[in-house]
Amino acid sequence: MRVFEATGFTGGFAARPRESGLFPAAFSRHFDSLEAGIGTRLFTRHVRSVLLTVNGDAWLHCVTNALGVLRQSSNEM
């Protein structure tokens, strides 16, 4: 989810694989699997960037809120 959140905000896959330690092909498969699992496209892919779909944008807000709650609860422990 953190990778989805970061990619949604930056609009690109290029730097994320290097930061996460995944090869670009594995990174792309990760998102393909995520999209298949939730049953909708999250990104529209272009040559040098990705754009969130309407569903991807809506889900980004949900993911960001959920991760924020998790971060806050971890900090309070």
User: Which one is predicted more confidently, 65 or 46?
Assistant: 65
pTM of the model: 0.74
The set of long-range contacts for 36-45, using a CB threshold of 8 Å and a minimum separation of 24, is: 42/4, 42/8, 43/7
pLDDT at 56 over 70: yes
Class of 2-75 in CATH = mainly alpha
What is the residue whose two structure tokens read 């990778």?
3
Q: Can you give the pLDDT at residue 15?
A: 56
**Which tens digit of pLDDT belongs to each residue from 17-26?**
556 666 667 7
- Alpha helices per DSSP H over the chain: 2-10, 15-20, 24-38, 54-75
Selection from 2, 3, 8 nearest residue 57 by Cα: 8
Q: Domain-by-domain residue ranges, the chain?
A: 2-75
Digit-coded pLDDT (tens) for 2-50: 778 877 877 766 655 556 666 667 777 888 999 999 999 999 988 777 8
